[in-house]
Chains A and B, each alone.
Chain A
Amino acid sequence: MSDKNTKGAPSQRGRIWFEALSANGKPVAGLPDSVRAADIDLAGKPARVIAVVPDTNNRFPRARNGEVGLLEGWNVARAVRDVVKADENSTEKRALIAVVDVRSQAYGRREEAFGIHQALAAAGAAYANARMKGHPVIALIVGVAMSGGFLAHGYQANRLIAINDPKVLVHAMYQAAAARITLRTVEELEKLAATVPPMAYDIGNYAKLGLLWKLLEVEQADAPTTPDLALVRDTLVAALADILKSPRDLSCRLGSETRAASVKVRKLLREQWA
């Protein structure tokens, strides 16, 4: 997978990390093959892991490579809301862990016609609602976190964790399409990305934006080793503890120098509000 476009073999990273984390878990039934969910034990606490994975037989042909399409958006929403409903009367709210490797939202005619924006909203709202109800929500970025796919599956999390690897990237649009929309060449975009951190694709530059909670060094991103898995589990446990003593909004993303304008805007708005 390059940062140029969506072509190329589907990434199996999301599936690999999902399966590694849920090896001793209980799979959640009733979901399509492109949405995997399992209930696991995380250092004595129950958690649900959710991933969107490639499914070559997906009924929707434009969502066969791990994209978040109509079925994926609505079913992720279901997998999340079922947890919230089940824990409604419990004081201990189960954690939700989104394993993120979503090459994009699905680009297609069927998707637009049947309201893919509504499907993505369903997933995003489900995570946001879970977070507001007190469920710790963590996104573990192991591959691509692209645009609408990430907004639906992961970006509403209390904490964002990524692994440091060349195939891990976060962005709003692949370069070929971004070049067409902004009337620039791919070369021009690459040049800008080298000096403007928010335009870059790599996770190193993304880390500069102050949005990530942790960036993890693993030995094998495509085949996690036992120490890799231990590191990720320990980090998830640490994230849970950190979330439990923090506000449940997204304010922890606002600390960096790179996002100074985001802070200034909020400060001035507050001064002028009443």
Chain B
Amino acid sequence: MDKSQNLKSNSFIELNARERARSILDTGSMRELLGPFDRVTSPWLKEQGIVTQADDGLVVAKGTINGQSAVVLGIEGSFQGGSMGEVSGAKMAGALELAAEDNRKGIPTLAVLLLETGGVRLQEANLGLAAIAEIHAAIADLRQYQPVIGVVAGTVGSFGGMSVAGALCSYMVVTREARYGLNGPQVIEQEAGIEEYDSRDKPFIWSLTGGEQRFATGLADRFVQDDVDSMNAVIRELAKAGVPASLRDQRIDEFLALLDSIDTNVQPNSAQVREIFGKGVKA
């Protein structure tokens, strides 16, 4: 990218969750639900001496995309690492439930999830996990009617139960700055040892779980540059595409056949994963 392009480009990643949501919805259509002024905050953080945030780090933005009813659910990665607590989790699950209900009432409504999250907020542990199960249920429901579009732009990335939520989406969009995987590097190192996973070896982690790799191996559907207009265009294209013909999580035989072909006696590197998954998974 040359300098002149750099100046013209409008970074998506530098936007906060609210601004990201606004940049995706049709101009002037955004209406925020349960916003900061409603002050529904986490009931669990205060007693642990942690400062709460008026929106609990989750933006529910209703509006339109291509003129069609849509809800954008934006996780604010700068609050508690984008972790899902009882309130932020209920906001996402509740909004997805209402979107599915709208579809059943004949109002086609789609959803966009902006995933910047480490997963469960450990200070609310079991209520975060329960909320994530409800988010999974709601995605599985809504995606029958309309696309649920997941976006991991960066810089937090998406991990834990929320990477499973991403994997349930009709479409997944990533950028070069995205990291997208189940377990955070520190947790793997803690549980499995540094030989298995060196959490400080950034190039290694990016080579396996970075957005470019996920796209190249067919675990993401679109690879977008960090630019507001490009992101907007891709979301519009996917919204128009409607419900996909097949969902990744339903391609069971295909994935099992690929896993069968792996030599599990050795640790894989980025190129080997591309070779194995590049053939099959990437349709």
Contact = CB atoms under 8 A, between A and B. Distances in A.
B25 to A, nearest CB: 15
Given A115-B219, A173-B120, 16 more contacts: A81-B250, A107-B188, A108-B197, A114-B262, A118-B249, A121-B164, A121-B248, A126-B249, A150-B129, A151-B133, A151-B161, A177-B191, A265-B34, A268-B33, A269-B94, A269-B98
B76 to A, nearest CB: 16
B183 to A, nearest CB: 5
A164 B139 CA distance: 32
A250 B91 CA distance: 15
A269 B60 contact: yes
Contact of B47 (A6, A117, A196): A196
Interface in B183-226: 183-184, 186-188, 190-192, 196-197, 208-209, 217, 219
Given A117-B182, A181-B184, A269-B34, A262 B123 contact: no
Given A253-B130, A265-B94, A269-B91, A110 B34 contact: no
A173 B250 CA distance: 28
Interface in B158-184: 160-161, 163-168, 180-184
B252 interface: yes
B141 A132 contact: yes
Contacts of B188: 107-109, 112
Dominant secondary structure at the A interface = helix
Contacts of B165: 121
Contacts, number: 263
B185 to A, nearest CB: 9
B126 A105 contact: no
A156 B122 contact: no
A269 B99 CA distance: 11
A173 B83 CA distance: 13
A240 interface: no
A258 B97 CA distance: 21
Nearest to B89: A262
A264 B273 CA distance: 45
Interface of A: 5-6, 59-62, 70-71, 74-75, 77-78, 81, 104-105, 107-122, 124-126, 128-129, 131-132, 147-148, 150-152, 155-156, 170-174, 176-178, 180-182, 192, 195-200, 206, 209, 211, 249-250, 253, 258-262, 264-266, 268-270, 272-273
Most buried by A among B125, B186, B192, B258: B125
Contacts of A5: 191
Contact of A268 (B38, B129, B255, B262): B38
Most buried by B among A59, A147, A260: A147
A111 B192 CA distance: 12
Contacts of A111: 182-183
A8 B262 CA distance: 28
B166 A259 contact: no
30 contacts: A74-B255, A107-B188, A109-B188, A109-B267, A112-B182, A112-B209, A114-B277, A116-B181, A117-B163, A118-B255, A120-B167, A122-B255, A148-B182, A152-B164, A170-B129, A171-B125, A172-B126, A178-B122, A181-B118, A195-B47, A198-B86, A253-B130, A259-B127, A259-B130, A261-B42, A265-B91, A266-B90, A266-B97, A270-B94, A270-B98
Nearest to A260: B43
Most buried by A among B62, B144, B161, B182: B182
Nearest to B192: A107
A192 B168 CA distance: 33
Contact of B137 (A117, A122, A250, A270): A250
Contacts of A115: 167, 181, 217, 219, 277
Given A77-B252, A199-B123, A253-B130, A114 B182 contact: no
B164 A262 contact: no
* Nearest 6 pairs of A and B residues by beta carbon: A121-B167, A128-B140, A265-B90, A155-B133, A172-B120, A117-B163
Contacts of B253: 78
A251 to B, nearest CB: 9
B167 A198 contact: no
A215 to B, nearest CB: 15
Interface in B264-283: 264, 267-268, 270, 273, 276-277
Nearest to B128: A172
Nearest to A124: B136
Contacts of A192: 48, 123
A113 B250 contact: no
B273 A122 contact: no
Contacts of B243: none
Contact of A173 (B91, B125, B131, B166): B125
Contact of A125 (B129, B168, B255, B256): B168
A118 B248 contact: yes
B86 A259 contact: yes
Given A114-B273, A117-B182, A151-B136, A211 B90 contact: no
Nearest to B60: A269
B227 interface: no
B255 A128 contact: no
